[in-house]
Copies of this chain bind each other. A is one copy, B any other.
Amino acid sequence: MPAARGGRPPTIRSVAEHAGVSKSLVSLVLRGSPRVSEARRRAVLDAVRELGYRPNATARHLTERRSHTVGVLLNDLRNPWFVECLEGLNSVFHAHDLRMFLGDGRLDRRTDEALTQGFLELPVDGMVLVGTMPESAVIAEAAATLPTVVASSRDFDLPGVPVFANDDRHGAALAVRHLADLGHRHIAHLAGSFGAVARLRRESYEQTMRAHGLGEHIRVERCDLTEEGGYRAAVRLLTGPRRPTALFAVNDMACVGALSAAEELGIAVPGELSLVGYDNTYLARIRHLSLTTVDNASHEVGRNAAKALLDRIAGRADGAGEHLLPPELRIRSSTAPPTRLTTS
């Protein structure tokens, strides 16, 4: 029978009284100490069951000076790869009895700063910064106070804070090379409008184009990272002069937008236009979209970041700097050789 209606829930002292022992002994039993007599152990466990006792985590956190919680700061749960990355984080944290406190800078109307403030006050045992987000003094201060790691973002350069991500330069190079190898020359890029990840992908696009002797065909159109943004940017590119035969988009969402634009303009994909996205989200895997894309290994990035955070929480603060995982190209149905090489 649980706590009497209205009355306060049972505490460790009620259990002790009910079992006829001291609260210290109850604590020992509950934490599985080996040096408790069988008789007492049973008496305590019986009392726990009879009273419906549940330990109060808040109180435990106070004395342990640990909340067994890590704060995860991200900025848009709608973007599917976040979920992938979270699963990676969670698989590790869960195995170590740590909860995740999600703060979505967008879901939450609180700014990232307010969320970070909350992490500091709880306080959480550690913090993970996931994905592109603006730097801020509060975040920097939190990172100096709390064990912190960065996942899937290249925006931060915080002292002693390790960064886990996929190698965006390499990934973008894979995408462009794939298109070039297919015979494309007019390869344009839908670039993200802010954040280091977008910048790296764009730079690598340009560099790879040049490496393939396609420097003169470099063409960058900015967009935000949504379907809508990709759509609009693609319309601009596809209705202008010297229409590209291939498009490398900064992420899958934008790539889907480009796909929509092509369809609307009556341009066949991949017949007349090849598309490559980035992230290998489930969007790209949907058969009806079936985008060639770059797998950014977000799950594994999440796992690695989580492991590193555990190390830091335990006081092993080694391995700052960048830890890049190799991305992989996933070829699906949105890319093909250009229709007629002669026309390009």
Query: CA of A109 to CA of B88 in the docked complex: distance in angstroms?
Result: 11
Whether A54 contacts B107 in the complex (CB less than 8 A), given A59-B62, A288-B259, comes out as no
Query: CA of A305 to CA of B122 in the docked complex: distance in angstroms?
Result: 26
Collect the chain B residues with CB atoms within 8 Å of residue A22's CB. Answer: none
Contact of A56 among B2, B91, B123, B289 (CB under 8 A): B123
The answer to whether B227 touches A286 (Cβ under 8 A) is: yes
Contact of A264 among B3, B122, B287 (CB under 8 A): B287
Collect the chain B residues with CB atoms within 8 Å of residue A86's CB. Answer: 77, 107
The answer to whether A94 touches B108 (Cβ under 8 A) is: yes
- A89 to chain B: closest residue by CB: B107
The answer to whether B99 touches A99 (Cβ under 8 A) is: no
Q: Is A120 an interface residue (CB 8 A)?
A: yes
> Could you tell me the distance in whole angstroms from the C-beta of A154 to the nearest C-beta in chain B?
25
> Could you tell me the distance in whole angstroms from the C-beta of A299 to the nearest C-beta in chain B?
12
Whether A57 contacts B122 in the complex (CB less than 8 A), given A78-B282, A86-B77, comes out as yes
- A269 to chain B: closest residue by CB: B288
Within 8 A of B (CB), among A41-80: 54-59, 61-62, 67, 77-78, 80
Interface residues of A (CB under 8 A from B): 2-3, 9, 54-59, 61-62, 67, 77-78, 80, 83, 86-87, 90-91, 94, 99-102, 107-110, 118, 120-123, 141, 144-145, 227, 231, 256-257, 259-261, 263-264, 282, 285-289
> Could you tell me the distance in whole angstroms from the C-beta of A58 to the nearest C-beta in chain B?
5
The answer to whether B94 touches A110 (Cβ under 8 A) is: yes
Collect the chain B residues with CB atoms within 8 Å of residue A144's CB. Answer: 2
Contact of A101 among B99, B108, B110, B263 (CB under 8 A): B99
The answer to whether A231 touches B83 (Cβ under 8 A) is: no
Whether A54 contacts B2 in the complex (CB less than 8 A), given A80-B78, A288-B260, comes out as no
Query: CA of A162 to CA of B330 in the docked complex: distance in angstroms?
Result: 46
Collect the chain B residues with CB atoms within 8 Å of residue A282's CB. Answer: 78, 227
Collect the chain B residues with CB atoms within 8 Å of residue A109's CB. Answer: 90-91, 94
Collect the chain B residues with CB atoms within 8 Å of residue A83's CB. Answer: 77-78, 107
- A281 to chain B: closest residue by CB: B78
Collect the chain B residues with CB atoms within 8 Å of residue A78's CB. Answer: 80, 83, 282
Whether A288 contacts B256 in the complex (CB less than 8 A), given A78-B282, A123-B56, comes out as yes
- A86 to chain B: closest residue by CB: B107
Collect the chain B residues with CB atoms within 8 Å of residue A62's CB. Answer: 56, 58-59, 62
> Could you tell me the distance in whole angstroms from the C-beta of A157 to the nearest C-beta in chain B?
20
Query: CA of A101 to CA of B99 in the docked complex: distance in angstroms?
Result: 9
Whether A55 contacts B256 in the complex (CB less than 8 A), given A83-B77, A94-B108, A110-B94, comes out as no
Collect the chain B residues with CB atoms within 8 Å of residue A67's CB. Answer: 58
Query: CA of A101 to CA of B121 in the docked complex: distance in angstroms?
Result: 16
> Could you tell me the distance in whole angstroms from the C-beta of A52 to the nearest C-beta in chain B?
9
Contact of A227 among B54, B57, B227, B287 (CB under 8 A): B287
The answer to whether A121 touches B57 (Cβ under 8 A) is: yes
